[in-house]
Structure 1
């Protein structure tokens, strides 16, 4: 993904940050502050602070709006008052237990589509893609969403190619459809927009000022593996339930087959059809997931953890771990281990 050179323009770039009742306050307020970050940077010498963006919170109506957490924000203007904008950002939204209800905000969806036709970038942070996907503009294109909502999103919008393991996805002929993944990857979205419109140096200065980091390793290290069990195949589900606590045994696939009462050929055909993974790949994911918890919570060596999860060859465990998570076991431990100061009172 290439970040464009910052354009030269005299007027600030107008950013419309969408507030809806389902929005999460932390994402909305964080985006608001960091998009204004260039104006907060300490001025050097006599040079005035850079103000490349004019950020407004917009909603169906102007004024106070209570968000998902019960905290109110003030929408500066209603979308009906915004006839043109350069960038629209929909922050994270909190999905109810019954999922996203399509058609809840038709006026906002229509406004986003109209602004896109006039040249605006459409950006989503995390689950904000649920609202933007209603425009139909992402159909047939790549996007990302919080991995916890990936199944729900795929069911609601099957025509969008979703990649929950990716941090940031830029799509569209004009690279005008931008989505960021789980939770705090809104940092990457905002830094990308600053780099694209104000320059990479300004983005780096903002990252330093707020102590933000790009999630350059992707989101695979954060994703917790949970095998699918909504397939309705009782024999395979029984095998999954057994292997969940016996993945470290010798010859785990053979043991699953024996216990299932199915022939080897039938088991190896039905298991991928039900879970989406081959039996050995499923076992590997369970072993790696257990290895991740041990790296986070214990002082055991990588060799010892390899043996505990079922691998006699630590070198194989290391290779597999990096292939699945994108990080070596040592790098994973450094990133996710509970720090000593947080352990003192535990």
Structure 2
């Protein structure tokens, strides 16, 4: 990822933070506080103008109940906003049965107009569902919360989605920015501060708010769940057996024996149904179990390796790092419940 150089600005960047009924209040308020906090908490030199002028915009002014029912004050109606430097759509709550396109035609039209007038369009987490309705992300890369990746791909098949990535910057002028799961809005805000106010200011803000870049990506946070919506009963039964017996010796050979299929047919149907070969599927199950043991126990890494089905701890360590992006010891340090929070 490259950060464009920061040109000297004679005025603050105008930031439009979009409020709408599906928006999540924590993301909206967090972005508002951090970007406004630069000036309020003295992160810029004395006498310097604030780098950002942040406004909460929406279809109408006044209190607007968000997804949780908590009202948030809309300061300016979009009809009164002719242009903006940065537009940010916060994360939204994806309700059952999924994202309903066409609910916010005025917002979508306004977002397209802001882009045409030079705005950088940004999404935090699932906010990209709304931005994607503009069609501006078609044929381009984006990221979204990994829990919503499948729903997003179904709704917007023309967008290349990368849920394992923290931040994706697309567009001819790097004007389409999306951030991944949940609090990766921290990375989005720090990126925007570095891009428009300079790296020194971004570092100071990170210190003041104790924000951290997710430099290892989001793969360590993702929980593996094998596909179960494929409609192949034989393979579904095999998946169920593997979920309970993945640590046995030669689980792939054993599950094939238990099936009613020839080995070649089984492997072909398994890969078609789940998107993974049987051995890759077993490896993902084993690594997922190892992650829980690293998070919740003091058991040594060598013993965890043996318990999940690997006699060679060195191979287990290599596989764990390749799968999660972290060594087992690093994963344990990051995700284990700290001592002060344990019963």
Same fold flag (TM > 0.5): yes
- Aligned partner of 1:90 in structure 2 is 89
Q: Which runs of 4+ in 1 moved over 6 A?
A: none
- Unaligned 5+ residue runs, structure 2? none
- Aligned partner of 2:34 in structure 1 is 34
CA distance in 1, matches of 2:338, 2:53: 39
Q: Is the 8 A contact 1:39 1:49 kept in 2?
A: no
Q: Is the 8 A contact 1:239 1:256 kept in 2?
A: yes
Q: Secondary structure at the match of 1:89?
A: strand
Q: Is the 8 A contact 2:11 2:49 kept in 1?
A: no
What is the correspondence of 1:1-346 to structure 2 with a 5 Å cutoff? 1-42=1-42, 47-48=46-47, 50-344=49-343
How far apart are residue 37 of structure 1 and its match? 2.8
How far apart are residue 50 of structure 1 and its match? 4.9
How far apart are residue 323 of structure 1 and its match? 0.2
CA distance in 1, matches of 2:297, 2:315: 21
Q: TM-score under structure 2 normalisation?
A: 0.99
Q: What are the Cα deviations for residues 87-143 of structure 1, in whole angstroms up to 9, with x where unaligned?
A: 100000001111111000000000000110000011000000000000000000000
Relative to structure 1, the CA distance from residue 85 to residue 43 in structure 2 (aligned partners, 3 Å threshold; closer, same or farther) is: closer
Relative to structure 1, the CA distance from residue 94 to residue 9 in structure 2 (aligned partners, 3 Å threshold; closer, same or farther) is: same
Aligned length: 343
How far apart are residue 41 of structure 1 and its match? 3.2
CA distance in 2, matches of 1:112, 1:291: 44
CA distance in 1, matches of 2:216, 2:137: 25
How far apart are residue 19 of structure 1 and its match? 0.1
How far apart are residue 249 of structure 1 and its match? 0.4
Q: TM-score under structure 1 normalisation?
A: 0.98
How far apart are residue 43 of structure 1 and its match? 6.4
Q: Secondary structure at the match of 1:57?
A: strand
CA distance in 2, matches of 1:30, 1:48: 26
CA distance in 2, matches of 1:8, 1:288: 49
